[in-house]
């Protein structure tokens, strides 16, 4: 529920000075005798400094370009503020209790649309509020939907904004996915009044479209679905207003699809699509629906998939929205501009800020003012406003003021050879300014790596991080994910403690082309963990990693990969940290709400919806049923019962995405082994990273665990741990290399 706030103002510069002063004072606190040994060791950065709440989150520029609306977070609660760009004043709008604000958008000059989730993180819905804090409306999913009978919105998928309406500032188009008669999931589009919540049907079809694509005026005539082992478009005739199914591919699953629509063009019946028509990688084309033909390639990348989404011009009355660019992730997230004027403007910004990746996140209706986020692997981000007419860039605020002046560690792109010859991409961060000349590294000079190498954190990535709405990604790309060189607070935390960080994009990771993605199908107990092992051995052979001080760290699906790697090669790792992990994919499938929606289908319809034996997810998993290694036929938890490696298992007691039962089952199995097992249940927010106190609790516990089992990369420093944990570990746990590695 919203809580009205007293309307007060303060100058933005004053806010930033207060934030910086507070940060400096906390970092400079006197050391107590219990914090240090003789001689005095320099103080390491506080844990809290790496995981603060952002100063402002999800900022958006108002249609007139005069205000910025943003989310402020504190201890798991969200509030909305506006910032006046002329006066610098910050004005509270409303505070939201009992829900998290994930994102916000301007509905018009005076009204904001909020994307909310309940405390479990599963139920998504929209709300709206005027910028003066009045007329708050919660558009929850418990409502009647015109023209819909015996159906209900799938809560994880509800309230997906499809498009604004250029000629109607009081309404937006919203898609509500439903479970229909056969338990398949499809969606209908409604016109949603952002003041009253009234819904007016806009588009629906019995042809089971899940995604919809409006034209520049907000009219819906094209949808996209996947059923019966084939993807297809649903197209509405402009004259008869009837829907027709147009097949686009007949393949076992979306892993094999050759065409995915991204949006409409200004030409009726022609779409922007990502396609593998002439390449192993996704590239951008126009696609004529009637003829089934592609244009010449509009955009491609020699190394990475161009996946989308598209970027559109601002909605203006009487003027259709235009596609102006497309987002995708190379080493860094980037925008490829399709309009020359935007490309020229972006080039001007890049020339002014040459050392950062400059993301244009929002712009005014007339497109003369733009909000820019400048960030990199060593810069958590600074927001600027660019005045296009004056060609002037004005700095606004840092995302994380506590980190803005701290020397940070770069991530380097690397590639190495797996045992079967596959080239595996990844990223490597080395502490204390160390650089390394590595075979397969994108850059690097000869280095000062300490004798014996550095202690290393091996961090395989987790599950879906696609650009689609999260719930659609869970259906269409359920385990599709990858790492990039974008700023990562955890990398900086680890390297500040003297640990290197290795982030392999094991086979099956998205973004590197179809062939690489398909190499991971059915390899969760085989080649995928072997990719991690092979990367670690490469770093040992290169002299980068200390072979006695290597620890796995991962969450959700990455925790499965880590535990599988540990089970295959336990002598390679000194410890493992598994947070909110998936350790049994069968039970994970049973726990998912989407699985529950499908469970009562007939076998035929289950196979139709998810293909490959019933589900795209099961096709991706396959759990190595054909592997000759007999041990891989056993459930992972059973194979882990013989481990003696120290393992820290952490999980959120309220987590509803990956059930804590997964971690508890593993902990119970490992309790029967002679290994050192620590279990850390975190009680509070379903996603404990939204709670500052829980974040600090976890990372302090993690730091103690690493000190015990890896030692420290900086033996001449002390951390800010409580006194009993702030001293060196006993000398037998420190390898000789540690003594030679000083900052």
Cα 185 to Cα 179: distance, rounded to the nearest angstrom? 5
Query: Is the pLDDT confidence value at 614 over 70?
Result: no
* Beta strands per DSSP E along 509-637: 545-555, 575-581
- Res. 736 pLDDT band, cuts 50 70 90: very low
Lowest mean pLDDT among 63-67, 255-259, 352-356, 545-549: 255-259
For residue 502, list its beta bridge partners: 428, 458
Question: And the tokens for 227?
Answer: 């059923």
Alpha carbon distance 256, 612 (integer Å): 11
Q: DSSP of 476-493, one letter per residue? A: HSTT-----SS--HHHHH
- Dist. CA 483–CA 509, nearest whole Å: 8
**Orientation of helix 556-568 relative to helix 527-541, angle to 10°:** 70
Per-residue pLDDT, averaged over 482-496, amounts to: 94
Compute how many other C-beta atoms are within 10 angstroms of the C-beta atom of residue 6: 6
Contact 482, 507 (CB under 8 A): no
Average pLDDT over residues 474-479: 48
Query: Residue for token digits 């290597």?
Result: 550
Is the N-terminal amide bond of 583 cis, ω within 30° of 0?
Answer: no
Mean pLDDT computed over 157-172: 83
Of residues 690 and 36, more confidence is placed in 690
User: Which of 282, 228, 232 minimizes the C-alpha distance to 252?
Assistant: 228
| Beta-strand runs (E) in 654-717 | 677-682
Burial of residue 595 (number of CB atoms within 10 Å: 0-12, 13-18, 19+)? middle
Which has more pLDDT, 664 or 433?
Answer: 664
The tokens describing 147, both together, are 């023209």
Residue keyed to tokens 């498009």:
163
CA gap 544, 452 in Å, rounded: 8
pLDDT at 153 over 70: no
| Pairwise pLDDT comparison (7 vs 284), residue with the higher score | 284
Q: Structure pTM?
A: 0.83
CB-CB contact of 630 with 598 (8 Å): no
Contact predicate 622/551, CB 8 Å? no
Q: C-alpha angle with apex 415: 413 to 417, nearest 5 degrees?
A: 165
CA nearest neighbour of 426 among 493, 514, 509? 509
**Residue whose C-alpha is closest to residue 574's, from 643, 503, 654:** 643
Residue 386 has φ and ψ, to the nearest 5°, of -105, 125
pLDDT value of position 181: 42
Distance CA 584, CA 629 (A): 19
Does residue 265 sit in helix, strand or coil?
Answer: coil
CA distance 265 to 710: 56
pLDDT over 70 at 426, yes or no: yes
pLDDT, mean over the chain: 78
Contact between 688 and 694 under an 8 Å Cβ cutoff? The reply is: yes
What pLDDT band is residue 604 in, cutting at 50, 70 and 90? very low
Mean pLDDT of 722-740: 27
Q: Which one of 616-620, 678-682, 717-721 scores highest in mean pLDDT?
A: 678-682
Q: What is the pLDDT of residues 191-234, one digit of tens each?
A: 999 999 999 988 887 777 888 998 878 888 898 887 666 778 88
């Amino acid at each position: 529920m919203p809580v009205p706030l007293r309307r007060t103002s303060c100058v933005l510069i004053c806010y930033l000075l207060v934030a910086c002063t507070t940060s400096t004072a906390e970092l400079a606190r006197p050391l107590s005798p219990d914090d240090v040994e003789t001689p005095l060791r320099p103080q390491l950065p506080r844990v809290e400094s790496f995981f603060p709440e952002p100063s402002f989150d999800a900022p958006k520029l108002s249609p007139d370009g005069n205000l910025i609306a943003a989310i402020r977070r504190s201890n798991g609660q969200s509030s909305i503020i506006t910032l006046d760009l002329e006066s610098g004043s910050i004005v509270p709008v409303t505070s939201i209790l009992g829900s998290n604000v994930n994102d916000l958008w301007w509905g018009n000059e005076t009204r904001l649309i909020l994307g909310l989730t309940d405390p479990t993180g599963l139920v998504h819905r929209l709300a709206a509020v005027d910028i003066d804090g009045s007329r708050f409306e919660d558009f929850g999913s418990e409502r009647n939907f015109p023209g819909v009978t015996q159906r209900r919105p799938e809560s994880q998928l509800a309230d997906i904004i499809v498009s604004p309406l250029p000629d109607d500032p009081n309404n937006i188009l919203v898609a509500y996915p439903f479970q229909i008669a056969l338990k398949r999931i499809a969606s209908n589009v409604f016109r949603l009044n952002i003041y009253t919540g009234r819904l007016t049907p806009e588009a629906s079809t019995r042809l089971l479209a899940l995604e919809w694509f409006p034209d520049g005026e907000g009219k819906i005539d094209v949808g996209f679905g996947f059923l019966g082992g084939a993807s297809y478009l649903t197209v509405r005739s402009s004259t008869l207003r009837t829907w027709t199914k147009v097949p686009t591919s007949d393949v076992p699953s979306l892993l094999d699809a050759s065409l995915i629509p991204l949006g409409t063009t200004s030409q009726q019946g022609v779409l922007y699509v990502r396609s593998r028509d002439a390449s192993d990688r996704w590239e951008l084309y126009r696609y004529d629906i009637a003829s089934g033909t592609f244009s010449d390639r509009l955009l491609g990348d020699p190394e990475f998939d161009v996946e989308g989404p598209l970027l559109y011009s601002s909605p203006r009355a009487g003027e259709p929205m235009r596609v102006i660019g497309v987002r995708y992730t190379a080493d860094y997230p980037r925008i490829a501009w399709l309009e020359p004027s935007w490309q020229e403007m972006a080039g001007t910004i890049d020339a002014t800020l040459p050392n950062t990746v400059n993301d244009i996140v929002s712009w005014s209706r007339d497109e003369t003012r733009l909000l820019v986020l400048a960030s990199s692997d060593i810069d958590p981000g600074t927001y600027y406003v660019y005045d296009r007419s004056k060609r002037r860039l004005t700095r606004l605020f840092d995302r994380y003021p506590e980190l803005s002046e701290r020397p940070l560690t770069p991530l380097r792109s690397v590639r190495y050879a797996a045992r079967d010859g596959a080239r595996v991409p990844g990223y490597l961060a080395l502490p204390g300014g160390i650089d390394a000349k590595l075979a397969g590294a994108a850059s690097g000079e000869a280095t000062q790596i300490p004798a014996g190498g550095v202690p290393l954190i091996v961090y395989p990535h987790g599950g879906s991080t696609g650009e689609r709405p999260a719930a659609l990604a869970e259906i269409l790309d359920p385990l599709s994910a990858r790492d990039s060189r974008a700023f990562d607070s955890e990398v900086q935390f680890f390297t500040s403690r003297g640990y290197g960080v290795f982030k392999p994009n094991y086979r099956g990771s998205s973004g590197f082309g179809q062939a690489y993605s398909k190499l991971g199908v059915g390899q969760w107990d085989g080649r995928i963990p072997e990719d991690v092992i092979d990367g670690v051995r490469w770093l040992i052979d290169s002299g980068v990693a200390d072979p006695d001080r290597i620890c796995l760290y991962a969450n959700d699906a990455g925790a499965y990969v880590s535990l599988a790697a540990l089970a295959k090669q336990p002598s390679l790792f000194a410890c493992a940290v598994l947070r909110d992990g998936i350790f049994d994919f069968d039970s994970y499938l049973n726990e998912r709400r989407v699985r529950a929606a499908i469970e009562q289908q007939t076998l035929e319809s289950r196979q139709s919806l998810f293909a490959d034996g019933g589900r795209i997810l099961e096709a991706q998993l396959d759990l190595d049923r054909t592997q000759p290694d007999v041990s891989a036929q056993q459930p992972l938890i059973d194979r882990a019962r013989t481990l003696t490696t120290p393992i820290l298992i952490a999980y959120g007691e309220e987590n509803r995405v990956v059930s804590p039962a997964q971690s508890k089952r593993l902990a119970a199995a490992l309790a029967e082994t002679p290994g050192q097992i620590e279990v850390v249940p975190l009680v509070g927010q379903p996603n404990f990273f939204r709670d500052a106190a829980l974040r600090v609790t976890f990372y302090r516990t993690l730091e103690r665990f690493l000190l015990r089992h890896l030692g420290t990369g900086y033996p001449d420093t002390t951390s800010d741990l409580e006194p009993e944990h702030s001293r060196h570990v006993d000398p037998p746990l420190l390898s000789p290399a540690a003594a030679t590695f000083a900052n």
